[in-house]
Amino acid sequence: MAAEPASLVDVVLLPMQRRHLRAALRIENQVYPRPWTTGLFQSELALGDRRTYLVAKASSKLVGYGGALYVLPDAHITTIAVEPSFQRQGIGVLLLHALCRAAVDKGATALTLEVRTSNEPALRLYRRFGFAPAGVREGYYTDPVEDAVIMWAHDVDGAAFAARLDELAPRQEAS
């Protein structure tokens, strides 16, 4: 059964906490062939200020999440996932936007990530945010085996990236 479309007005981002893990894992198992485990999420959350993990909630339902790690001056987007029935509604944009802002606030000057070569929707999203392909990790993904595109966004602490984020800021219209 398809979910009702989420209005971005109804979507809130919150710091991920242990109580969110069951719902995050449900999404993780829907969207990734090799999902993260509870233990991996817990170890990431335990790293505190060296990580940012957010959840997106529509009403009381967790519909997405994303994370970043910091090895300053770089930040790495570790994961972004949206429940399939809520995809293509701007929730991924909302999460990536918040993670980019958090990385800049932490002192990052560059952002990186990996993405499956076949994941065209994600590649388009990342390009909108200024990420550019910088290389390929052959056989990076398994189930099925697939290469990863390594993408970077540089000078994220500069005026041009700030203007890009302002332009991409999710529009939350009042109802």
Q: pTM higher than 0.85, yes or no?
A: yes
In a domain, 111, yes or no: yes
In a domain, 75, yes or no: yes
Tens digits of residue pLDDT in 113-162: 999 999 999 999 999 999 999 999 999 998 889 999 999 999 999 999 99
State the catalytic residue, choosing from 126, 138, 146, 173: 126
In a domain, 43, yes or no: yes
Residue 167 annotated to the active site: no
Indicate the number of domains in the chain: 1
Q: List Cβ neighbours of 139 (8 Å cut-off, separation of 6 or more).
A: 145, 146, 147
Domain of 164: which CATH number? 3.40.630.30
In a domain, 1, yes or no: no
In a domain, 174, yes or no: no
State the catalytic residue, choosing from 44, 114, 138, 146: 114
Per-residue pLDDT band at 6 (split at 50, 70, 90): low
Residue 126 annotated to the active site: yes
In a domain, 21, yes or no: yes
Q: According to the model, what pLDDT value does residue 63 have? A: 97
In a domain, 92, yes or no: yes
Q: According to the model, what pLDDT value does residue 119 have? A: 93
In a domain, 2, yes or no: no
Residue 5 has pLDDT above 90, yes or no: no
Tens digits of residue pLDDT in 10-51: 899 999 999 999 999 999 999 998 899 999 999 999 999 999
Print the domain residue range for 53: 8-168
